[in-house]
Amino acid sequence: MYKTSANVGFFYNQTQIEMDNTTLIIVAGVVGLLIGFLVAKMMEKGKATKTMSNAKKEAADIVREAKKEGESIKKDKIFQAKEKFLELKAEHEKVIINKDKKIAEAEKRTRDKESQVSNELAKNKKLNEQLNVQIKDVNHKSEVLEKKQTEVEKLHKSQVQQLEVISGLSADEAKSQLLESLKETAKTDAMAYLQNTLEETKLTAQQEARKIIINTIQRIGTEEAIENCVSVFNLESDDVKGRIIGREGRNIRALESATGVEIIVDDTPEAIILSCFDSVRREVARLSLHRLVTDGRIHPARIEEIVKKTEKQINEEIAEIGKRTVIDLGIHGLHPELIKAVGRMKYRSSYGQNLLQHSREVAKLCGIMAAELGLNPKLAKRAGLLHDIGKVPNSETEVETPHAILGMQWAQKYGEKKEVCNAIGAHHDEVEMTTLISPIVQVCDAISGARPGARRQVLDSYIQRLKDLEDIAFGFNGVQKAYAIQAGRELRVIVESEKVSDDKAAELSFEISQKIQTDMTYPGQVKVTVIRETRSVNVAK
């Protein structure tokens, strides 16, 4: 038991010693860490102190450098300011010198003007004195003239009284006789002078006008084409006529009803006549018949179908013709409705002349003539093309309006210029001409319509126009015979030599031309020639 206690004590002591050693080691470690921490702190503090001292030194160096640079900049700025001041001072001195110079010049001009004004005042004073002297002289002469005028009037009255006693006429009667004789003489002289002046003016104007018109016409190639109111549809054989007529005529009635064209089937071999004043309807009927005959199926339902298709095709063709026409003539910006109207003119005629061909011709003539006269050829060409669009109305109500007025209304509606509208409306004198293009369109329309072969002329109206010309001549005193020649473009008048003198013949020619111009409507000009002759006839036996 003692041994056991001793062992226990030994192990206790041994354990106590080990614990004491561990405690010492721990304490020694803690002390070492503290000492190391303190040493590190001291070293860090030393480094910080050294860094602070270096930073302060560098800061001091930077401050010194900054002060040096500031001083340098300050000196530069002061130097620049001085230079700027000197420059501004020099400029200011220059301005002051210029102003002084201008002031001196202005003072010199003022002194010169003052001197000039003084001279003018002296001259005016001298002139005023001379004027006063002249006024006194004029007043004196006026008094003398009044006295002489009074004496002259007294002498005139006495002479008039003596003349009245000698002649047996009063002064008023003698004056009226003298005035009548002077009137006749003055009228004859005036008519002769007027006739000579008109002849000279007409000669010059006609030469220039003929030159322009001939040059214009020579540059236009035209075709002489006459259109009728009927079209002939050729058939391969007469057997087709029966199919076209149909049972009890139902096919031909359906075709006439759908197209509005009169279809004449007679004994003419292998031909059918289509009669209608509307060329569009005739063309629709012709194309429809061609399709029906080619297809072989001819009955009312098929006829209506073909006619509708043909009308659509014709409308498309009309628009295409209008587009090609304006492109060929170089006209741009035309409204689509006006383009369609231009296309429809292909299927219209005026006195047998194709309306589209006539309008194209007028457009080209207008363009050339406007260029010759120094006007706008494009505008003139536009007016020439559109001048007859009123002849292709869209509805029956528009037919009653004159075609020139209707065309002008369309042009205004679709935004054409005032010059074009006036030219369209005035080419038959329905409205007053306000632009230079209007007479050009009128002249070119007359040129295109009056050329030989362009249009049909009704014989009765032609003969009536010639008779009217001769009747106007017979309405004047002294006219013995009158002949309208050259298709009504010249009127030759033969007068009685006993009743009409040479001077009266010139007056009669002028009066007849004015009467024709006032009372008649005619294309171009009418030349009036008055012939007066005296014949002495003797017979030798």
Within 168-269, residue ranges assigned H as helices are: 171-218, 239-245, 250-259
What's the whole-number mean pLDDT along residues 413-436? 88
pLDDT over threshold 70, residue 304:
yes
* 348 pLDDT tier (thresholds 50, 70, 90): confident
491 is a domain residue? yes
Are 337 and 450 within one domain?
yes
| Residue 494, SS3 per DSSP | strand
What's the whole-number mean pLDDT along residues 484-495? 85
What pLDDT is stored for residue 523 in this prediction?
Answer: 65
Please state which of the ranges 115-124, 290-299, 458-467 shows the lowest mean pLDDT. Answer: 458-467
Looking at per-residue pLDDT, the higher value among 130 and 190 belongs to 130
522 is a domain residue? yes
Sign of the Cα pseudo-torsion (405, 409, 410, 414, in order): positive
Q: Please write the tens of the pLDDT for every residue from 234-284.
A: 777 667 777 777 777 787 788 888 887 877 777 777 777 777 767 777 888
pTM of the model: 0.46
What pLDDT is stored for residue 457 in this prediction?
Answer: 53
Structure letter (DSSP) for residue 275:
E
Domain end (from 455, 486, 519): 455
What's the whole-number mean pLDDT along residues 407-411? 89
Are 480 and 524 within one domain?
yes
Q: Which two tokens stand for residue 148?
A: 């002489």
Q: Please write the tens of the pLDDT for every residue from 20-38.
A: 777 778 888 788 888 888 8
| Residue 19, SS3 per DSSP | helix
* 224 pLDDT tier (thresholds 50, 70, 90): very low
d(CA 372, CA 364): 12
516 is a domain residue? yes
Structure letter (DSSP) for residue 373:
T
| Residue 269, SS3 per DSSP | coil
254 is a domain residue? yes
pLDDT over threshold 80, residue 189:
no
**For the chain, what is the domain count?**
3
The full DSSP string for 431-455 is S---STHHHHHHHHHHHHHHSTTSS
pLDDT over threshold 70, residue 286:
yes
Looking at per-residue pLDDT, the higher value among 106 and 256 belongs to 106
Are 485 and 432 within one domain?
no
Are 366 and 427 within one domain?
yes
What's the whole-number mean pLDDT along residues 404-420? 89
What's the whole-number mean pLDDT along residues 390-397? 73
Are 363 and 396 within one domain?
yes
pLDDT over threshold 70, residue 353:
yes
d(CA 67, CA 59): 12
Please state which of the ranges 53-67, 191-205, 336-350 shows the lowest mean pLDDT. Answer: 191-205
Are 402 and 496 within one domain?
no
Q: Please write the tens of the pLDDT for every residue from 359-383.
A: 888 898 898 888 888 888 899 999 9
Burial degree of 439 (CB within 10 A; 0-12, 13-18, 19+): middle
12 is a domain residue? no
Structure letter (DSSP) for residue 253:
H
What's the whole-number mean pLDDT along residues 127-145? 87
Please state which of the ranges 174-183, 358-367, 497-506 shows the lowest mean pLDDT. Answer: 174-183
What pLDDT is stored for residue 214 in this prediction?
Answer: 56
Any idea what the CATH number is for the domain that residue 479 is in? Answer: 3.30.300.30
Q: Please write the tens of the pLDDT for every residue from 53-79.
A: 888 888 888 888 888 888 888 888 888
Q: Which residue has the tokens 């004047």?
A: 476
Are 423 and 346 within one domain?
yes
What pLDDT is stored for residue 270 in this prediction?
Answer: 73
Type of residue at 477: N
269 is a domain residue? yes
2 is a domain residue? no
Any idea what the CATH number is for the domain that residue 419 is in? Answer: 1.10.3210.10
What's the whole-number mean pLDDT along residues 277-306? 81
What pLDDT is stored for residue 493 in this prediction?
Answer: 92
Residue 255: count of CB within 10 angstroms of its CB: 25
What pLDDT is stored for residue 492 in this prediction?
Answer: 92
Domain end (from 432, 455, 478): 455
Sign of the Cα pseudo-torsion (313, 315, 319, 321, in order): positive
Report the DSSP beta bridge partners of residue 494. Answer: 481, 531
Domain end (from 272, 300, 322): 322
Domain that holds residue 418: 330-455
Q: Which residue has the tokens 């075609």?
A: 403
What's the whole-number mean pLDDT along residues 2-24? 60
380 is a domain residue? yes
Are 356 and 240 within one domain?
no
pLDDT over threshold 60, residue 219:
no
* 1 pLDDT tier (thresholds 50, 70, 90): very low
pLDDT over threshold 60, residue 452:
no
pLDDT over threshold 60, residue 384:
yes
H or E stretch at 272? strand 271-275
Looking at per-residue pLDDT, the higher value among 465 and 451 belongs to 465
Any idea what the CATH number is for the domain that residue 251 is in? Answer: 3.30.1370.10
Are 318 and 370 within one domain?
no
What pLDDT is stored for residue 448 in this prediction?
Answer: 77
Are 314 and 413 within one domain?
no
Sheet holding 262-264, edge to edge: 230-234, 271-275, 262-264
Strand 349-350, strand 353-354: pairing:
antiparallel
User: Average pLDDT over the chain, rounded to whole?
Assistant: 79
What's the whole-number mean pLDDT along residues 469-477? 90
What pLDDT is stored for residue 225 in this prediction?
Answer: 42
d(CA 324, CA 330): 10
The full DSSP string for 514-541 is HHHHHH---SS--EEEEE----------
What's the whole-number mean pLDDT along residues 177-206? 68
Are 424 and 371 within one domain?
yes
Residues 330 and 381: beta-carbon distance below 8 Å: yes
What pLDDT is stored for residue 206 in this prediction?
Answer: 57
Looking at per-residue pLDDT, the higher value among 504 and 224 belongs to 504
Are 369 and 307 within one domain?
no
Q: Which two tokens stand for residue 85?
A: 């001041």
What's the whole-number mean pLDDT along residues 414-419? 89
